[in-house]
Amino acid sequence: MKTWTTEMRTGRTRTTEDLPDLDLPVELFENSTGEANASLGQRPIHSRRAAVTEARRFIQSVIESIQKQKPAKALILGLGTDHVLAALLEHPDLGQILQTTTVDLYEPITALRSRTQARISEPLDPLPAGIRWLMPGPMPHSFQLFVFPFYARAFPELLEKFQSDVNRNTIQTMLRLWKRNFWRRTQNKVSLLQRFADGPLIFVGASPELESHLDWLIQWNKDRRGLLISSDTALPRLLAAGIKPHFYLSVDASPATAYHLLACPFQDVPALTWSGGPGFLSDFGEEHLYRSDFPLETGWKGQPISNPLGNLAGLAIALASCTSSRKLLLLASEGARRNLQSHCRNTGYEYYAKNRQSRLNAMDTYFFRLYDSGYKRSQDTMSKQEELASRLGVEILRLPESLDLNGIGEQSFGFASLELPQATNWRDGK
């Protein structure tokens, strides 16, 4: 799974592309503290006040992640003026991680790469065994990626080359947990989706635009026409406004998903998930399963639902394609950011930030970093949604007023309580 943190982006990937080589003008200078720095245009690569401290903090996060996940290979992208390399070489735990992990280093900017190459080529200053200096050429396979903050901000399109196979990365990281959740669920009867709603679906995401749709949703809640499905992230905001959806979608099995549910003034809204979905949903209320394209579900009754976009809005489009109306009203799902907000209010992110804030760890700082590394551009998100809907024959509506609910009653899905073939070993899933 692609994970975003304050200092790095991590992810295993496989690709056949070449390592990028950026021939860009770079100006070297010194900070007021005497630390070497470089600028690209008017943007400094390192902190103007604490370049060494910034590099050490970044390397510390890299080392901690490697110690926890123990990948066979790690790639550090972006070294700047060698502060990152120096922080890596002086770290006391470097020898320990090199016993299990090969660390590759790559600087994509030609001028800076030549500068560092000249230093490490000196016979008196070689790199330790287990650290490899990469030059432009074919990209290595199956690595865990760490990106220095400036490069993540300055070259967002560069990261697409390294993270082009997010689905493969997610499978590698989460497969063990998915199998265990599958095994636990197949030990008892499950409620499996068998019949789809006839009327249109309404899906509510957690973009900041949700605030502007609340009045319409409050009015909808009086008649409850059609079928309203919420994302797990948006559920706390809807319940706080007195809006109770028919179901909420929750598919991410990582423990952090629970923060969204802990933030709820919970009102027994049933969850719709899949066999490998979060294992704690039944602790919060009723849960129902839809048949996914997970290989272990082969032979299950019902129509399999595939989610090519890999997000909840994409799953809502896939669900709408199975209804007779094939209409979907998408609210707060455009991926747009607004006023330094990445999500609506009352989410699990807010719950998490409130519980960890202190004098030295302000909640505003957490939300700025979440915003800075969060959603993709709205136009890109919408175009992918429209492309998938066109392929599946679904009509997407964006504004609440564009959905005519006259003559449509309250809708629901049909579920059946079934005993599924039991998995006897959660490690194997069979």
Q: What is the pLDDT of residues 273-288, one digit of tens each?
A: 999 999 999 888 899 9
Instruction: Check whether 296 has a pLDDT greater than 60.
Output: yes
d(CA 137, CA 384): 31
Confidence of residue 3 (pLDDT cuts 50, 70, 90): very low
Instruction: Check whether 426 has a pLDDT greater than 70.
Output: no
Angstrom distances, CA of residue 267 to CA of 232, 236, 247, 254, 289: 13, 10, 11, 23, 20
Give the pLDDT confidence score for residue 324 in this predicted structure: 87
Confidence of residue 127 (pLDDT cuts 50, 70, 90): confident
Phi, then psi, of 86 in degrees rounded to 5: -65, -40
β-strand partners of 102: 73
Give the number of other CB atoms < 10 A from CB of residue 29. Answer: 11
- Tell me what the mean pLDDT of segment 385-403 comes to: 90
Higher pLDDT, 190 or 15: 190
For the chain, the maximum distance between any two Cα atoms, rounded to a whole number of angstroms, is: 82
Confidence of residue 422 (pLDDT cuts 50, 70, 90): low
Give the pLDDT confidence score for residue 15 in this predicted structure: 39
Instruction: Check whether 183 has a pLDDT greater than 80.
Output: yes
Tokens of 192: 């499996």
Instruction: Check whether 7 has a pLDDT greater than 60.
Output: no
- Tell me what the mean pLDDT of segment 262-268 comes to: 76
Confidence of residue 85 (pLDDT cuts 50, 70, 90): very high
Give the pLDDT confidence score for residue 109 in this predicted structure: 93
> pLDDT averaged over the chain?
81
Domain boundaries defined on the chain: 3-164, 175-418
Give the pLDDT confidence score for residue 331 in this predicted structure: 92
% pLDDT > 70, the chain: 82
3-state secondary structure string, the chain? CCEECCCCEECEECCCCECCCECCCCEEEECCCCCEEEEECCEECCCCCCHHHHHHHHHHHHHHHHHHHCCCEEEEECCCCCHHHHHHHCCCCHHHHCCCCEEEEECCEHHHHHHHHHHHCCCCCCCCCCEEECCCCECCCCEEEEECHHHHHHCHHHHHHHCCCHHHHHHHHHHHHHHHHHHHHCCCCEEEEEECCCCCEEEECCCCCHHHHHHHHHHHHHHCCEEEEEECCCHHHHHHCCCCCCEEECCCCCHHHHHHHHCCCCCCCCEEECCCCCCCHHHCCCEEECCECCHHHCCCCCCCECCCCCCHHHHHHHHHCCCCCCEEEEECCCCCCECCECCCCCCHHHHHHHHHCECCECHHHHHHHHHHCCCCCHHHHHHHHHHHHHHHCCEEECCHHHCCCCCCCECCCEEEEECCCCCCCCCCCC
Instruction: Check whether 166 has a pLDDT greater than 50.
Output: no
Which stretch of 76-80, 272-276, 368-372 has the lowest confidence by average pLDDT?
368-372
Instruction: Check whether 351 has a pLDDT greater than 70.
Output: yes
Confidence of residue 400 (pLDDT cuts 50, 70, 90): confident
- Tell me what the mean pLDDT of segment 204-218 comes to: 90
Confidence of residue 5 (pLDDT cuts 50, 70, 90): very low
Which stretch of 1-15, 83-97, 250-264 has the lowest confidence by average pLDDT?
1-15
Give the pLDDT confidence score for residue 194 in this predicted structure: 87
Residues 358 and 328: beta-carbon distance below 8 Å: no
